[in-house]
Structure 1
Amino acid sequence: MVKYKKSTRRKVMLERRRVLELFEKEKDALQAKTQEGIEKNRKGKFTLRLTDKTGKPLANTAVKLCQKTHEFRFGANLFMLDELETPEKNQAYKQHFTGLFNMATLPFYWDSLEPEKGHPRFAKDSPRVYRRPAPDLCIEFCEKHGIEPREHALAYEQFFPKWLYGADTETTKAALETRYAEIAARYADKIPTIEVTNEMLWEKGRTAFYDDADYVAWCFKMAEKYFPQNELAVNDATDMAWGMRPRTCSAYYSYIEAAILKGARIDAVGMQFHMFHPREREYEATRPYYDPDALYAHMDLFARFGKPLQVTEITVPSYSWEKEDEELQADILEYLYSIWFSHPAVEQIVYWNLVDGYAHVWDPDPEVIAASQGNMTQGENYYHGGLLRFDLSKKPAYERLDTLINKAWHTEGEFNTDADGCLSLRAFYGNYDLTVLKENGQKGEITFSKKGENCFALVL
């Protein structure tokens, strides 16, 4: 970590804070827009009617409502589940994860899930692979804590196993279908969102099939066969999703459109948001991405498909653990999350690495990868893009998201029924605990859904 004199540090931070220029250019107008969008798109009117067993309305009865979780999905990847050095760190990881998120991205990278052909690592007792906890372990954690799992990524060609490198198209298709069938048999009823393809614009692939013009369409048609009840998502890199001019052209938009025209059933559009830029280039490199108008324009563009949008992989760097750097990371994330949460098409926002010091390192040597833990100069560790520090203490970014998700975007309070025993209010969509503050304090659970009728009757 670079150390500066106090005066130099102040100058450096003033320079860094320039990245907020476009967010703060018309700050009041942006705040009004995001608040209006959140109020309109994330809240609804709900009616609760209380009666006794004879059908008599319970007038002027106090009811306590407390939101437990959002219908909207806030998540992160779960790649470090039981992967840390000590039981204490593993426990802290789980506590911090469940304290903030109701969705988890699970690693289904083919190269590490099936490094040996015919021997997939599904079970909890499978051989360990760093940053790749076994799916069964992840599912168990999610089910225990009421977290929705998300699959990543079914046909991500850059992470095909070595035993498939150089294979012809028919061999690759056959292997993919076997993979689809095995994963579907074990997890289709447990994982609602299946991310089918990811990052389709690499120059060179591992197999001949990657260069096939029908790759995306074929992968989705095969996914529809094996995952008929699941949400099938496409996903691609930051510059593909947010970096091209949204009003004129987008390679990502074009290949989605082409696949749909070929009969592919694509249910959701994933949009990565990794700010992997060196500190000295941060200002110029992030201008297209830290621009509210551009962000809304890109979301509007992909919303034309009539499919929900998912912000799938988010990294916003702090570059260090210095107070000012961490506060800036929190400020940026507050703007971004408010914008994304306000847009009607967005249904998921998924941060990437929860903890600093355990990010991806592009090196095939396991010893190099193991040595990278806590080394903040190696690989993606450089960016300090986590919400927790290496010691699992909370960064301001974690605290800021906690304030947004669990406090600002949260409904809780005591309310009274009217003369007809009815209670009407606007509240965030999600699951609620309900307590009637009389008649032995009867308790229950209700779900306020954007897709539901949201009229509830409770008989005491």
Structure 2
Amino acid sequence: MSSLFTPPAEGRTPDPSLAHRRADAVVTLRGADGAPLASRDVVVQQTRHAFLFGCIGFDLVDLANGYETSRYGSDHLAEAKAERDREYDQRLADAWFGVFNQTTLPFYWGSFEPERGKPATEPLRRAAEWFVERGAVVKGHPLVWHTVQPRWLLDVATGPGGVDEVERLQRERVRRDVGDMAGVIDTWDAINEVVIMPVFTAEDNAITRLAHVKGRVEMIRLAFEEARAVNPSATLLLNDFDMSTAYECLIEAVLEAGIRIDVLGLQSHMHQGYWGEEKTLGILERFSRYNLPIHFTETTLLSGDIMPAHIEDLNDWQVDSWPSTPEGEERQADELERHYRTLLSHPSVEAMTYWGLSDRGMWLNAPGGLLRADGSPKPGYSRLHDLIKGEWWLSPTTLRTDASGTVRFSGFLGDYELVADGGSAAVSLGSPGRLELDATLA
């Protein structure tokens, strides 16, 4: 048995910038009686990435619920439309699970509870369970935000109870939803876009009114403390699109106030063009100084025309048609690879969520999906698949144990299965470098 570790797929040389993502495993494989299995063929295969490669799952909620909450009714034409959508959604699901291992589900208060006292708890929980059953980690987004608010909450704010009653209801909402989803959803964007929250003017809403009174830090305390009160083991993110020093100052104020942040969320909707490696690494260096894990929570790269640079609020760019183009698709594929490689090269980054699988229903109708509107894959989807399930993945590989029952392999941090003599054993590569492990076949 050679002492060399297995090379990456197809003989590729490992990317040295990703050494902190890899481990060299030395596994002593034992039979059920505990004796080492010498000179045995062993099939080693990866089953999970430790890094969270995410994509939103909004489009798959109906499929996950078996269309029990279908809006199409029962007439013949509606049933035909539902069937077409079911086939389309299944194609989306196949594409989703072909690459990703984490999803984000929508808990926007205005759409989650448009009628007071009637939240969409059951369909969202069923969707979360559906993803978990298929091996995905689920995050809820968001618990507190000033946008997509229910109309009835603004009526509360302008009523006799004012913002005090809004605060009571917001606290109750956080506790209710985190408690209802505990054990299935244990990761949350606890509060979203706080830098702009107290001064948001695009539309009147109850949460901006509350934030104007309480201030940013106390709004964050509200979200984190209420969520942690009902799920102490939850992973809670502070999430924002503002990459200026204003976000840094806010983070510092929150930490000085004694509020525990689990993860920093950084958004990167690049509708006005790819950031590039230098800008991305500069942002990562600035925000990694807090010694907190970083998740890139919302990323979009376009496969069509880029939004003009003079647009300050992306929501202001409204066009009748925004198509994906062949040239744009090739550009998107290249930029996706560059962006993912850059993020994985930085040790603070634990997760990356792409904000939209298909162009159908994309935010602003932008051509930012990895699939075209008809569900066919763009080059960007194929490029990501080749990276995540190719270059960064150990496919089934046959090795042989040595005289002491030891087998050696190298791979990205994550979970692996070893199969030999009609049994299997699982091992996890949890830290970079050389790992000496024991595994017993079952």
TM-score for both structures, normalised by structure 2: 0.80
- Answer yes or no: is the 8 Å Cα contact 1:37–1:344 preserved in 2: no
1:353-364 aligned at under 5 Å gives the runs: 353-360=356-363
Q: Note if 1:173 corresponds to 2:167.
A: yes
1:118 equivalent in structure 2:
117
* Deviating more after overlay: 254-263 vs 104-113: 254-263
- Answer yes or no: is the 8 Å Cα contact 2:178–2:230 preserved in 1: yes
Q: What amino acid maps onto 2:28 in structure 1?
A: R
- Tell me the alpha carbon deviations over residues 124-176 of structure 1, each in whole angstroms, 9 at most, x when there is no partner: 3xxxxxxxxxx123213212311111110000122332111262332122101
Q: Matched residues in 2 for 1:423 and 1:163: separation?
A: 62
1:59 equivalent in structure 2:
38
2:335 equivalent in structure 1:
332
Q: Note if 1:458 corresponds to 2:413.
A: no
2:11 equivalent in structure 1:
none
Residue 432 and residue 163 in structure 1: after superposition, are their counterparts in 2 closer, same or farther (change >3 A)? Answer: same
* Deviating more after overlay: 221-230 vs 391-400: 221-230
1:31 equivalent in structure 2:
none
Number of aligned residue pairs = 374
Aligned residue among 46, 55, 59 for 1:80: 59
Q: Matched residues in 1 for 2:146 and 2:205: separation?
A: 7
1:95-134 aligned at under 5 Å gives the runs: 95-124=94-123
Q: Matched residues in 2 for 1:201 and 1:258: separation?
A: 12
Q: Matched residues in 2 for 1:235 and 1:229: separation?
A: 19
Q: Matched residues in 1 for 2:129 and 2:373: separation?
A: 25
Q: CA RMSD in A?
A: 2.2
- 1:55 to partner: Cα distance: 4.8
What percent of counterpart residues are identical? 31
2:189 equivalent in structure 1:
195
Q: Note if 1:401 corresponds to 2:384.
A: yes
Q: Note if 1:317 corresponds to 2:302.
A: yes
Q: Matched residues in 2 for 1:209 and 1:322: separation?
A: 44
Residue 459 and residue 93 in structure 1: after superposition, are their counterparts in 2 closer, same or farther (change >3 A)? Answer: closer
1:235 equivalent in structure 2:
239
- 1:415 to partner: Cα distance: 2.0
- 1:69 to partner: Cα distance: 2.0
Q: What amino acid maps onto 2:287 in structure 1?
A: F
Q: Matched residues in 2 for 1:47 and 1:306: separation?
A: 31
1:344 equivalent in structure 2:
347
Structure 2 unpaired stretches of 5+: 1-13, 64-81, 305-322
Aligned residue among 135, 145, 148 for 2:137: 148
Q: What amino acid maps onto 2:234 in structure 1?
A: N
1:444 equivalent in structure 2:
425
Aligned residue among 226, 243, 264 for 1:269: 264
Q: Matched residues in 1 for 2:30 and 2:130: separation?
A: 39
- Answer yes or no: is the 8 Å Cα contact 2:178–2:227 preserved in 1: no
- Answer yes or no: is the 8 Å Cα contact 2:301–2:336 preserved in 1: yes
- 1:449 to partner: Cα distance: 2.2
2:313 equivalent in structure 1:
none
Q: Note if 1:254 corresponds to 2:287.
A: no
- Answer yes or no: is the 8 Å Cα contact 1:108–1:153 preserved in 2: yes
- 1:54 to partner: Cα distance: 5.6
Q: What amino acid maps onto 2:431 in structure 1?
A: K
- 1:399 to partner: Cα distance: 0.2
Q: Matched residues in 2 for 1:196 and 1:338: separation?
A: 28
Q: Matched residues in 1 for 2:441 and 2:271: separation?
A: 55
- 1:454 to partner: Cα distance: 6.0
SS in structure 1 at match of 2:94 = helix
Structure 1 unpaired stretches of 5+: 1-33, 125-134, 245-249, 361-379
Q: Matched residues in 2 for 1:451 and 1:142: separation?
A: 28
TM-score for both structures, normalised by structure 1: 0.77
Q: Matched residues in 2 for 1:275 and 1:325: separation?
A: 13
1:22 equivalent in structure 2:
none
Residue 50 and residue 93 in structure 1: after superposition, are their counterparts in 2 closer, same or farther (change >3 A)? Answer: same
SS in structure 2 at match of 1:385 = coil
- 1:274 to partner: Cα distance: 0.4
Q: Matched residues in 2 for 1:101 and 1:198: separation?
A: 23
Q: What amino acid maps onto 2:237 in structure 1?
A: A
Q: What amino acid maps onto 2:338 in structure 1?
A: Y
- Tell me the alpha carbon deviations over residues 192-217 of structure 1, each in whole angstroms, 9 at most, x when there is no partner: 21111111233326232121222222
- 1:230 to partner: Cα distance: 0.6
Q: Matched residues in 1 for 2:125 and 2:32: separation?
A: 45
Aligned residue among 205, 220, 227 for 1:216: 220
Residue 421 and residue 264 in structure 1: after superposition, are their counterparts in 2 closer, same or farther (change >3 A)? Answer: same
Aligned residue among 146, 154, 168 for 1:157: 146
Residue 454 and residue 154 in structure 1: after superposition, are their counterparts in 2 closer, same or farther (change >3 A)? Answer: farther
1:374 equivalent in structure 2:
none
Q: Matched residues in 2 for 1:72 and 1:234: separation?
A: 19
Q: What amino acid maps onto 1:354 in structure 2?
A: L
- Tell me the alpha carbon deviations over residues 16-58 of structure 1, each in whole angstroms, 9 at most, x when there is no partner: xxxxxxxxxxxxxxxxxx922312x211132211234565433
Q: Matched residues in 2 for 1:79 and 1:62: separation?
A: 43
1:295 equivalent in structure 2:
280
Aligned residue among 8, 12, 17 for 1:37: 17
Aligned residue among 223, 226, 230 for 2:230: 226
